[in-house]
Structure 1
Amino acid sequence: MDFFNVIKRMDSISIQPFLFIIIFFSFQPSISLEICSTLCGSQTIRFPFRLIDQPQYCGYQDFELSCQVQETTQDVTILTFPYAGNFSVFHIDYAQQVVQLSYSEGCLPGILLQGLNLSGSPFMSVNTQSYTFYNCSTMVQYPGVTKIPCLSGFNFYVVAILTDGYTPSTSVCLEIAKVMVPMSTDWWEDGMTLGWNQPDCRWCESHQGTCLFENVGAGLQVRCGSAIKHGLPSNVRDALVFGLGISLVCLIAIISCVKLNFTEGQNHPNPEILMTHPRSTPGSTKGLDRQTIDTYPTTLLGPSRCLPNPRDNICSICLCEYQANETLRTIPNCSHYFHVDCIDQWLKLNATCPVCRDKFEEPPPVAPTLSSLMPVVAFFTLIYVL
């Protein structure tokens, strides 16, 4: 009896449990990452950060965040420092390992005057510069002089000037203190940028990966998940043995699929051959529906008007500058953002970005075939071997 006849006589139903087992276990690494990755408003929360109600293995030590629910606006992500209080998280740059914060409880320059205490946290100031604070009886009109509204009063003005820059007259201004300021485009309006060194996941992020614990519950060593690796892990022998076992199950699953296709091909015509699928012409590009548009993330600008790209501060559709309390919508494919009202009207008529003109229509679904099944099964096996 030749090999092909053996395939025909195999009971496909008895092999189906093995196919379920391989698919279930092959998805386990990605499932664990998906469970830990979450959203608070439009902010993506993932390793090394985690929300306080998530399992501890989802984040690194002292990287806990809380999600403050808002009734009329987007939920706000809160980062709490032991000695500095609560800060709103505006943006997390996982590749550069920096976080943009906004001090919503009061006056950030006042905290800086008292001394920003980041003890007990893994965060540190990034690109600090020395500023001298002055108490002036009249407002000093000079380039580089920054007024601090939250510290100024009815008949006096508190200003900050680079220590190496202009020095005002002592008859008008009295020096208060010299302060090291974490640089940000709007620090005097309660904006601040901090960074962290550990865990160091910059290489992993640059290779489109995500850090996670090497061994959950056993130390703080991290590894790179879903990224290109150099070399093999320490338990390579066990992984290879296990991978060979999974490969055997894959072979059984493929044989089952071949048998099913052969049997059904003899008894039933392929309905897909008889079906015709209309193809859209290049000139028939339509806009997006409301449901699709609503899936694109939105951002509510605070008083500091912190933008992902500070240079991109004008809506390319209406040509108006972004203002506080305005809502922006971001196109995920290219990260360009616009006023919600402007981009919503555009997307109803056009399925392209107004700036880069990239199309982001979803491709039509492709029916799975035996040839497409084989690389998928091989990919599942590779995940376990590595």
Structure 2
Amino acid sequence: MPHLTFLWLLCFSLFLQEPTSAQTCPSSCPGGESEVKFPFGLNPNGNRNGRCSYPGFGLSCSNKTGALVLNLPESGEFRVSFIDYETQQIWINDPDFCLPKRFMESFDISGTPFVSKFWYTFTFFNCSTEEVAGAGLRRIPCLSNDNYSVVAYETDSFVDSASGLQSTCHSIKTVTVPFAWYGWVEGVRLEWYKPDCRSCVERRGDCGFKNRTSQEIGCFNLPSQAGLPRSAKYGITIGVGIPGLLCLIGLGCFVGSRLRAYGRQRNLPSTEFSTSISPLPAVIITGLDGPTIESYPKTKLGDSGRLPKPNDSTCPICLSEYQPKETLRTIPECNHYFHAKCVDAWLKMNASCPLCRNSPGGSAPITPSISSSSSSSSSSLLSA
């Protein structure tokens, strides 16, 4: 008997053990950001290779603001704006929101697990405020003051208004950075490929280490997909389906008998009803006309394939990446970009944005009048 009790306690303790290692690591910063998930983790003292994260993915909390911080070994600390675990992308920004200054000092992602698909070379110029205002150039506010203005242009695609800067302005520095000029407002987008947790995230599981002694990862806490055994499903179908069918047959017989009884009570042996039913107006959303579509602005990409927005790397309609010298069209009300040929075909059939479904104007729902001939014969009711 004591042996049986011991075996029972041993089996019960094994059953209660967790299949994965439980780590007591903080999951968020006091600043109120969203929860930090694997492969990222909040390591003590901002260690990039601590036990709470995959090597190179250590984060920390800012002592000043409590915001989430990523430390790049060659470039210093950057504020984490957003992490997309499904596409494995991270957006970072300067804590003081002056990324151009950081880029002029140093920006290097070597020695990190992060990469970027797009790199651009920019030249910074120091110009007088009058020259910048007269040329209609965009100044960098955090690097400019009332006496001078700092501007930057992509070196490989100088336009006429910018080419004159070489003779009238002082060149400060040329840098190569993984973003386009318009991306400086929202930050820099970086990606990672290892570890690859995309499949686990898509299946709504938790990606993490399989154990404490290796870097092998696994997917845990997946939603239950096994369901009931097939025999149990058949039993439920038969047990519920047959009584339900019998109930429907009985209900139909009851309703039919009540209708027949009502007819006999009213003594209506011959009652003729002829009713014309006018259906509800059908609302048809027509597409936009040609002049309206052509009034929407077009943008032609340069030789570098620079994108209009940092997140618009593919056309939402045909799902193909934008290529250099392709023509894009913008829907003004929502500022969404598409291939011109794709969105023109769409707008001819639909008067709404393919991405956000907002109506850009220029069309209205058409309610066709549907006439129904009301040839109704008078219903004669025979009195009892």
Normalising by structure 2, report the TM-score. Answer: 0.46
Structure with more contact order per residue of length (Cα contacts < 8 Å, sep ≥ 6): 1
